Amino acid sequence: MLTITQDLHDQIVAHARKDHPDEACGVVAGPAGTDRPERFVPMLNAAMSPTFYEFDSGDLLRLYRDLDDRDEEPVIIYHSHTATEAYPSRTDISYANEPGAHYVLVSTADTDGLGDFQFRSFRIVDGEVTEEEVTVVAAH
């Protein structure tokens, strides 16, 4: 189960809406070994595509150095889908290389800026996708 604060949830959704029609992507870091998302780190979609996301390799290297310096790990890896449901694509599954992370997908397919969106979380380990419950809390 993913437990996330309302503030972090809202920041992820806002990033997805802001970058629409391109896919948004980023990470929520947390103290290593805690499974507690704390620090929102929006990333640039280097692909700048409505159907694909890719972290910039330089940004990713800087992120992992920063995580090491802070004794953090990527608790959530998130991105948006702009035309399909919030479910990992074959490409998403093939690039999922953090078995301990929660993979959050936000679909902005039917979003008019005020209306519905999907916010779902998955574990992806060795190509196997398992959806998990999301609990939004006021604070940790």
Q: Over the stretch 91-113, which tens digit does the pLDDT of each residue have? A: 999 999 999 999 999 998 864 45
Tokens 């004794």 -> residue: 71
Distance (Å) of CA 11 to CA 2, 91, 93: 16, 25, 24
More confident residue, 59 or 115: 59
Q: Count CA atoms within 13 Å of residue 10 on its CB side.
A: 7
pLDDT at 116: 67
Strands, E, within the chain: which ranges? 2-5, 25-31, 39-43, 72-81, 102-107, 118-125, 128-132, 134-137
**100: enclosing H helix or E strand:** none
As a dihedral over the C-alpha atoms of residue 98, residue 19, residue 40, residue 74, rounded to 10 degrees, the angle is 10
pLDDT at 113: 52
pLDDT at 110: 66
More confident residue, 85 or 49: 49
**What is the biggest distance separating any 2 CA atoms in the chain, rounded to whole angstroms?**
40
Tokens of 45: 């979609």
pTM: 0.94
Check: CB of residue 86 under 8 Å from CB of residue 119.
Answer: yes
- As a whole number, mean pLDDT of residues 74-96 equals 94
- As a whole number, mean pLDDT of residues 3-28 equals 96
Tokens of 126: 């060795």
Identify the burial level of 46 via C-beta atoms within 10 angstroms of its C-beta, where 0-12 means exposed, 13-18 middle and 19 or more buried: middle
